[in-house]
Amino acid sequence: MNGWGVSEVNFNTVKAMNAYEGDCCYCIEPGVSLYTGDTLSKKAEDFWDNYPDKYNNTISPDMIKIFIGRIMQYGYMGKTSLNWKTNDKKGADELAHYMATQLLIWETVVGERDEDFNKINAQDYGKDNIKQQIKTNNPLRSEIFAYYNAIETKVKSHTVAPSFTSKSKMKAQTIELEWNGNAYTATLSDANNVLSSYDFSGLGLTFSKNGNELTITAKEAPDNDITVTASKGAKRKALLLGQMK
């Protein structure tokens, strides 16, 4: 999808940092060859700030970055080994976990995952799905997809947001604050039951939570639209609730 492509092969290569064994690496450019002797340079997180939209028409570069981080949080982050073999229980388990992690990263990069991390069928667009790389005769097929499903479930659970928010600025709703005799307020209900996990911020606004309801209050009528964000945990993920008027 989105111009990414790779030739059909009978094997995949596992990469490690600085040697043939060690901290595992994951590919974020499927189909771009890496040859023996090539070296890679380090890039900061702002790499994604200038990421061309043409590489993924499904989600924003910021969402790609966030999802890759979540996948790696729940995927395999151990060391690679030259002793990995499909007939060795420990090695096979680690290799399957690694491959499942790589598949989900590739799906995210090429646009097979939407902003809620739901799977998009590439065949609907005349393309092959990333996971078709795991052939039916792969000795670790069942183990790979067991990890694939487990990681997918955890990433989806982690990224569930209050139902009135949006991960996209373009889709964020506009909310009108109404005068109640004392202040300008609006009350929103979260159908996803995750409100307690989020903190909210907006210039000149105060927020209070009661169960699954969020009340937004302004002592004075805002002169301009105010953007409200919702943050979870260590503020790694920011969501747009909408514009306040």
State pLDDT tens for residues 184-243. Answer: 999 999 999 999 989 999 999 999 999 999 999 999 988 888 889 888 754 444 444 444
User: Which of 158, 184, 218 delimits the end of a domain?
Assistant: 158
**How many other C-beta atoms can be found within 10 angstroms of the C-beta atom of residue 126?**
7
Domain for residue 24, yes or no? yes
Q: Is there a single domain that holds both residue 144 and residue 183?
A: no
Q: How many CB atoms lie within 10 A of CB 140?
A: 18
Going by C-alpha positions, the residue among 145, 137, 131, 130 that lies closest to residue 96 is 145
Q: How much is the average pLDDT of 150-173?
A: 86
Instruction: Look at the chain and report how many structural domains it folds into.
Output: 2
89: tokens are 């229980």
Residues 152 and 196 grouped into a single domain: no
- 57: helix, strand or coil: coil
Residues 6+ apart with CB under 8 A from 240: 165, 166, 167, 168, 169, 172, 227, 228, 229, 230
Do residues 138 and 206 both lie within one domain?
no
Bridge-based pairing of strands 198-201 and 22-25 is: unpaired
Domain range holding 192?
A: 169-244
Report the sign of the C-alpha dihedral through residues 70, 72, 76, 78, in that order: negative
192: tokens are 């996803």
Bridge-based pairing state of the strands 184-189 and 79-80: unpaired
How long a stretch of residues is the chain?
Answer: 245
2 assigned to some structural domain? no
What is the dihedral sign for C-alpha 206, 168, 116, 173?
positive
| 148 and 174 belong to one structural domain | no
41, pLDDT greater than 80 = no
Q: From 147, 148, 106, 150, select the one nearest 129 (Cα to Cα).
A: 106
Question: Does the structure show a pLDDT above 90 at 167?
Answer: no
Q: What's the gap between Cα 201 and its chain centre?
A: 23
Q: What is the pLDDT of residues 85-94, one digit of tens each?
A: 888 899 999 9
With cut-offs at 50, 70 and 90, classify the pLDDT of residue 44: confident
Q: What angle separates helix 89-110 from helix 141-158, to the nearest 10 degrees?
A: 50
* Sheet with strand 79-80: strands edge to edge: 15-16, 22-25, 79-80
Q: Which two tokens stand for residue 43?
A: 């890039």
Shared domain check, 191 and 104: no
